[in-house]
Chains A and B, each alone.
Chain A
Amino acid sequence: MNPAARETAARATPSRFDAIIVGGGPAGLAAAITIAEAGLKVAVIERGDWPGSKNVMGGLIYSHPTSQIVPDFWKEAPLERHVVRRDMWMTTADSTLKASYETTDFALEPYNSFTVFRSRFDKWLAEQARARGAYIINETLVEDLLLESGKVIGVRTGRPGGDLEGNVVILAEGVNRFLTEKAGLGAKIRPATVALAVKEVLSLPKDRIEDRFNLEDGTGAALEIVGDVTGGLPGTGFIYTNRDTISIGVGVILKGLVDKVGESYELLERFKRQPQVKRLIDGAKPREYAAHLIPEGGYRDMPQLYGDGVLVAGDAAGMVNAVFTEGANLALLSGRAAGETVIRAGKTGNFSAHTLSWYGERLEKSLVIKDLKQFEDAAPFLSSHAHMFNLYPEVASAAMKELLTVDSLSKADKTRLIMRLFRSQVPTRRLVRDAYDAWRAIL
């Protein structure tokens, strides 16, 4: 029996809210929890059957930002495994060059990151919001914003009696930032700045996962994979270990795909066939497919974050760090900031863009904008340097192979051979240029 039901039974239903949040993902729910905890009236309007039902992620939930929203969340949240090891693989059609980091520290509370299923995790997060007094409205699509003299005063849904008024509308609507566009805050997303990711969940018994991935009971591994897996297109693949399933997926910039979804699934199939990957997932049975768009335009592609009576958070605000595959944590942090903004503005009774601009300042001072700014060149860099994704893995692989093969060549001859190979494939000028561009883009 939900104790919240008994508690809330006595209160009167509001017809007007302090905040209306469009979208029940991490950004929207973080905002809802923040606002509800302050005793204000907040409604989250989610188009899916329940928050998370429409969400898919090829990433991790990070402990630190999440515990700011719900302290000690790891004790009760539906989490799959806490990640102790991160791998970075560079692949060719038949080889892999790996970098791996593992630490016992990540196995200790409060942990660092977790693998999750968004349909379960977000649902749980929504319950936290509900328990704190937020109204969660599912299966409802917000079709439009209500405006009065250019100010956002509420939302319109398709339901009978479906207009809802509130002081601030927080647009946490996700990558297809349709309302953000309508509010005049940002442009429509473009294929060049959006990645399409497809993912499969494969089931494998818990013990076998731990065996295969060399993990201790309950710990997890997260693998980011580049190279042949994306068929030469800019993008990455990933493999995450869950309790008794494995999530495997690949994402590429949409612009590079001709037949978008079909080609993406083909990429995934190809990824799964790569010999070292294949061995890792051998015997695992496919359970689910999913696909999702990821905004990868970064800082340059972000919309205006605030307007009169409106704030934008999460994927809708383009807050994804593609280089580090971080999106959910930025969403949580921006949602919290949006919530704090609403509370602050509420004290003044003023919800104009000027008052709400505090949101922008807050984010600029936090890692959210700092990281996005730092990597603002990353996406265009990677797009225009597609060869990073095929040439370098090939060359590195060839070099390693030569180095490790014992044949009749002397080590000195081998070294010469490798240098020649390198220079023929990657002229020094280009190597220097790439190194310089990469340094500029990422550091």
Chain B
Amino acid sequence: MNRETRSSISSVVCVKQVPDTTQVRVDPDTGSLIRKGVPSIINPFDLHAVEAALVLRDKFGGQVTALSMGPPQAEEALRKLLGFGIDRAVLLSDRAFGGSDTLATTYALSCAIKKIATQQPVDLVICGKQSIDGDTGQVGPGLAHRLGFSQLTYICSLQEIDLEAGVIRAWRQREDGRELLEAKLPAALTITETCNQIRYAALPDLIAASDKPVEVWNVDDVGADRALLGIKGSPTRVKRIFAPPARQRGEILSTPGGDPADAAALLMDRLGERDIRLGGSRV
């Protein structure tokens, strides 16, 4: 996408409403997912993405739009984000989107973002680094690729935006350290939880949120090709789901009154049987 030098930065933040994963279980008798009664929350990493967008708006002005693909109930999540004072909330909702894996999801989201880009500038697409239900971390890079945006993932700190040069500089958290990257705008970012602290929304914004609309778009609104959506558009399929094997109570090697040295020796023997190697040879 072309951009002339501008004086503000506008971003689209992709958010997802997810089940509170601490409460999701598989019924061990039937093997099915127990979703009933599990509250939905906004993916926590996405809140940091919203905060990052708001921080940039504080500094550079521009518009912050939240975009979410989900069932009608996801409107609740977007309304909550309106309470943070974002400018616009768009819900991409259609039965056709259901059952999408990350490839189909990034396709749908990119259609929506392209439509938004016809209405306002889109300099940044910001996502949380991963969702707590899927845990894949694939949507951010996938979106970057589809949109032809520069890809900046695991961003733990925003350094600066040089509007003249049309670049953003940010620190990326790697396993072995941090790297400072410079990316051409427009860019797609994924944000880590250490990047910022979620602000405490102002009361006037919370009240005003009730009066702000959540725009709802369907497949036709964004001109998406149905063959690339939902199950049809998803190359991956879930073959089966099951409860992870529960840890079982193991062996008690020693009780009080026993000789600690004996217990230690027995433990090391057991570890040796499990093929734990110490000193290059088995214990």
Contact = CB atoms under 8 A, between A and B. Distances in A.
Instruction: Please give me the 3 A-B residue pairs with the lowest Cβ-Cβ distance, nearest first.
Output: A9-B213, A160-B202, A13-B208
Contact of A5 (B75, B201, B208): B75
Contacts of A158: 200
B207 A13 contact: yes
B74 to A, nearest CB: 10
Nearest to A117: B37
B216 A159 contact: no
Contacts of B212: 9
Contacts of A5: 75, 79, 213-214
Interface in B64-84: 72, 75, 79
Contacts of B204: 13, 15, 161
A130 B211 CA distance: 11
Q: Which of A8, A15, A159, A164 has the most CB of B within 10 A?
A: A159
A137 B203 contact: yes
A162 B205 CA distance: 10
Main DSSP-derived SS at the B contact region: mixed
Contact of A12 (B72, B93, B211, B216): B211
A130 B210 contact: yes
Given A140-B203, A159-B201, A161-B202, A1 B216 contact: yes
Interface of A: 1-2, 5-6, 8-9, 11-15, 43, 130, 135-137, 140, 157-164
Interface residues of B, number: 20
A171 B212 CA distance: 28
Contact of A13 (B79, B202, B211): B211
Contacts of B91: 1
A158 B201 CA distance: 10
Given A1-B216, A9-B213, A157 B207 contact: no
Contacts of A157: 203
Contacts of A135: 207, 210
A13 B212 CA distance: 9
Given A1-B72, A1-B75, A2-B75, A136 B203 contact: no
Interface in B52-108: 72, 75, 79, 91, 93
A157 B200 CA distance: 12
A135 B206 CA distance: 9
A163 B208 CA distance: 14
Interface string B180-223: 00000000000000000000111111111011111010000000
Contacts of A13: 204, 207-208, 210-211
Contacts of B211: 8-9, 11-13
Nearest to B201: A159
A11 B91 CA distance: 21
28 contacts: A1-B75, A1-B91, A1-B93, A1-B214, A1-B216, A5-B213, A6-B213, A9-B211, A9-B213, A12-B211, A13-B207, A13-B210, A14-B207, A15-B204, A43-B207, A135-B210, A137-B207, A140-B206, A157-B203, A158-B200, A159-B200, A160-B200, A160-B201, A161-B203, A161-B204, A161-B205, A162-B202, A164-B203
Contacts of A6: 213
B41 to A, nearest CB: 9
A157 B72 CA distance: 31
Nearest to B208: A13
A225 B211 CA distance: 48
B72 A137 contact: no
Q: Which of B72, B79, B210, B214 has the most CB of A within 10 A?
A: B210
Contact of B203 (A1, A2, A9, A160): A160
Q: Which of A158, A160, A163 has the most CB of B within 10 A?
A: A160
